[in-house]
Structures are given as structure tokens and as C-alpha cells.
Amino acid sequence: KEDLPVYNLEDISSHATRDKRIWVTYKEGVYDITNFIDTHPGGDQILLAAGSSVEPFWLLYSIHENPHVYKILESYRIGNLNKDECNNLTKDMTDPYFNEPKRHNALKPASKKPFNAELPPELLIQSFITPNELFYVRNHLPVPDLKAETYELEIEIEGVKKTKSFRLEDLKKLPKKTITATIMCAGNRRSDMIKHKPVKGLNWGPAAIGTATWTGVPLRDVLISAGLKEDDDKFKHVQFEGGDSDVTGKMYGASIPIWRALDKRGDVLLAYEMNGVPIPRDHGFPIRVIVPGVVGARNVKWLEKITVSDKESDSHWQQNDYKGFSPSTDWDTVDFTKSPAIQELPVISAICQPSEGSTVKVEQDKITVKGYAWSGGGHKIVRVDVTVDGGKSWHVANFEHQDAALPPQHWAWTIWTVKIPVDKKSKNVEIWAKAVDSSYNTQPESVENIWNLRGVLSNAYHKVKVNLKR
Ligand code: HEM
Ligand code: MTE
Ligand code: MO
């Protein structure tokens, strides 16, 4: 390292385009990252650092504070930054996470900046409705601090010059609706995929999911009152932007197909209450979109803008993330334009009690197993099968709590439980669970054959190894 050439800031800023090659600094290191750009899991945002330091961006995305990231970076090292300049550069950096809400200690962080956390699985299924303080949090950026009094939602219908805006009180005056819906992150149960082969993404267990009642105004009514004609087929998508932005001011964004936004039975809400109280800051205060049956990523929090368009959202999270791929696709071959954005999620289940590695009491030669099952698109769970002998005998679980709503409006999860006989001599067992939904779709058996480089849609049979105590 010491033998490498020394550069000053001017040298570095003159390498900010592909034809001049792209250099960045990190602490005293100088790196030529031109050849890494196309395989960067965070997309072309990496170019924001071209010709300067990556540090302010890594304060924003602390996922980079990780040995495997430093190892990649070091492999591109070409030199060292002049000492004096190095000290000046980092002096004035401030933490973009200075104003985060307080979180409950029971939420176990998968990353702190941005804040991402889930409950221990045993706690998750103690109640059908997840208390707000214990609801998993999935943030990509610092939490904005929006104020009810000054809040405004802007609605643009493409081609119509004048945009319309709604204050919080305007929205609250419109007829309201309450639904019970489960929200799940596409990365839920990613840890099972990681066990098979590493992926790039947060190491979520089975608790990146939660259920709440959501109260708000149907998006459909708001769009119509903003001037959208229901039978206008020019438009294909409804785009959402959140109030959380990165260092360049680019907002979190996503979109859903317009038919879903306009479908009376789609129940898409601009929600202002979660479990009967104003939505907490972490979950989108004062307004978030609830798109029941659809992947968490489209349920945009801190909603500030809606655009009715013929195009999908161009946000990173719609275009270059939250998509599925073949197990053989890797970061060198992946082409994000070739897969559609995830919308409805496939059927999934998880064993929450006992949890992986724990010890269970055998009572009358049986163990009690408890978990959840859920399916996207408004499908209902019709059966959950559980085995402790690798599928030689399956036991059908009882539904401890299931919402009465009929498909295709069955938005909430099912909590299930089953007592299963275990072999008298065995000291440990592997429990498997799989669910079947109202379309008779079921879960794939092995994680190997659905593995993908981003670790999304991890819905293989849930398999949990536990010790037995008599
Ligand atoms: C994710 C490397 C610069 C934004 C990642 C990941 C790696 C990586 C390995 C995947 C981490 C994981 O999930 O395990 C690098 C390297 C950089 C760099 C070597 C050197 C220049 C940047 C910059 C930005 C950025 C400058 C932003 C301006 C992101 C984002 C993600 C990401 C948004 C995705 C986080 C998520 O999973 O949601 N990067 N990165 N990166 N990176 Fe970078
Ligand atoms: N909305 C905004 N504005 N910013 C975000 O980072 N994360 C999305 C979605 N909406 C996100 C967002 C993702 S990926 C998920 S899984 C859900 O919010 C998580 O919602 P929760 O934190 O309320 O559980
Ligand atoms: Mo997510």
C-alpha cells in the first residue's frame, strides 16, 4: 500500500467520467472503480461519488460498513490521498441519521443506518394484530420528520398541467375505510437463502412481516377527485414518491399498475392510521400507501407525491431491485430490465415457535408448533402441512386465527398451530411447514432451486431444527 502513488483532490476530481475512468476515495485510499460500476448491487447511485469521497454516501448506507465491501474496494486500490487533504475532507461530515425516532428494544436490527429490524419469531405470532411498536421496520434512508400541519400530497396526472394538492385535513374529510392487511418485505426469510449461498441483502429472519388495521381514504377516490377519468386507458401505472431522500434529493419511489389502484376491490388506501392511532414515524407518518397483497416495497411511506403515468416509477427500487432471477444468474450476468418488478407476493409460511436452535418440551410424546402463513394477491390460506419426519407423514395445522374476508380480498395472514407426535428416542427433529393458498398454489420444497442473487421471494418450505426435552 505504502508504495502506491500519492494523489491530491484535484487528481481525483479529474477522474469522474467513464472515459477518464472513475476514481473515488475512502479514508486515505484512492480507488479506480470503473470496472465495478456495472456490478454494484446498489446500481448507478455509485456514480454520485465519482471523483470524490464515498464516505458521505456510506454514512447514508451503512450496509457498506462490512468486511466484504472493504475487500471489494481494496481490490481496486490504485493509490493514497495526500495526508493534509485527507484530514480536511472528513472533518465536516455529519450523520444524516441524527433525527431518527425511538425504537422498541425488542426489535432486533439487521442494520441500524438505515434502520431495519424485526421481532424474534416467537414474539411475532403471539397476536394476530402486530402492535405498532413491534412491527418490523424496513427503511432505505433516514426517516423524514413530516409535520401534520404543513403536510401536502401532490397529485400529478401526466399531460394535465395543473397538479392537485391535498392537505392532511382534506384527506381526512373524505369517506374513510379500514382494512386488516399483512405487509411483508420481499426479503423476508432471506437468511434461509443465505445459508444455502451468500446473497447481497439484509439478513432477514422470518419476521420481516406484520399485520395491522389500516384506516385511510381509498386511493381510487382521491385519484378520481383529482380529475382522473376511470375509463381513460392512456395511463398504465400509479407512481408514488416518499419524503425520504438521499444526499442528492432523490426520493424513495415505487409504482403499481393502474388497474389495482382503481379497482374497488383492490382496497388500496392512503392510510393515516395504523391500529387506530396516527401512523408512527417509522411506518410512514402522516400518510402511507397500503397496497394489500403486494410486496412491502410498493407500500410507500411518508407519501408526498403521486403521479398517474403510462410508465412505471423509474426509481432504483422499482427498476434495479425487488425483482426475481434464475438461480444461475449472477452479478456479472444480471440484466434488471429482463425481470418484471415484484408486485403480488407468492404463498409463504414460517414456523415461529419453536424457533431455530431452541429446545422444546415433549408432552405426551408430542410437540406444539406454531407459525403464520400468508399469500399475496388477496388469496387466503386454505391449509398448512407440517412434518417432523422429512415428509413421510404430514400433519394438517389448525387455524388459531384467520380473518373472515373472502379471496380476492383476503389481505391478512393466518396464525396456525399443530401438535405433532415425535419419535420416543429422538433428541432433536427438523420441523418443516408449507402452506397452500386458495388458488392451490403451494411453496417450493427447496431453497436451492429458487435461490437468487438478491435473496428475494424466499418462500421454500420453512425448515427449523430444534432440540427435544422430556
Ligand atoms: C449496496 C459496494 C459505493 C449505494 C452495495 C453492496 C455492495 C456495495 C457490495 C451490497 C451490500 C450487501 O447487501 O451485502 C460498493 C462499493 C462502492 C460503493 C465497493 C465503492 C465505491 C456506493 C455509493 C452509493 C452506494 C457511492 C450511493 C451513493 C448503495 C446502495 C446499496 C448498495 C443504495 C443497496 C443497499 C440495499 O440493499 O438496499 N454496495 N458500493 N454504493 N450500495 Fe454500494
Ligand atoms: N417507503 C419509503 N418512503 N421508504 C422506504 O424505505 N421501504 C419499503 C416500504 N415503503 C420504504 C417505503 C419496504 S422495502 C418495505 S418492506 C415496507 O415499506 C416496510 O414497511 P414498515 O417499515 O412499515 O414495516
Ligand atoms: Mo422490503
If one counts every other C-beta atom within 10 angstroms of the C-beta of residue 178, the result is 12
Taking the centre of ligand 2 as the mean of its atom positions, its distance from the CA of residue 138, in whole angstroms, is: 5
Taking the centre of ligand 3 as the mean of its atom positions, its distance from the CA of residue 186, in whole angstroms, is: 5
Q: Let me know the angle formed at the C-alpha of 43 by 41 and 46, rounded to the nearest 5 degrees.
A: 100
Task: Provide the grid cell at 167.
Answer: 392537505
Query: In terms of Cα–Cα distance, which of 220, 237, 211, 205 is closest to 296?
Result: 211
What CATH number labels 108-338? 3.90.420.10
Best residue among 140, 145, 288 to mutate for probing ligand 2, ranked by most atoms within 8 Å of CB: 140
The boundaries of every CATH 2.60.40.650 domain in the chain are: 348-469
- Quickly list H helices, 51-97: 55-60, 67-74, 83-91
The boundaries of every CATH 3.10.120.10 domain in the chain are: 6-91
Band (pLDDT 50/70/90 cuts) for residue 200 is: confident
* Active-site residue, from 15, 26, 61, 138: 138
Q: Report the pLDDT averaged over residues 229-255.
A: 92
Q: Which atom of ligand 1 is nearest to the CA of 248?
A: 28
Evaluate whether the domain defined by 6-91 bears CATH number 3.30.70.270: no
Fold category of 348-469 in CATH: Immunoglobulin-like (2.60.40)
Q: Report the pLDDT averaged over residues 459-467.
A: 98
209-229 pLDDT tens trace: 999 999 999 999 999 999 999
Ligand 1 within 6 A of CB of 54 = yes
ipTM greater than cut 0.90: no
Q: Report the pLDDT averaged over residues 259-273.
A: 97
pLDDT at 89 (0 to 100): 65
DSSP labels for 437-458? ETT--B--S-SGGG--TT----
The boundaries of every CATH 3.90.420.10 domain in the chain are: 108-338
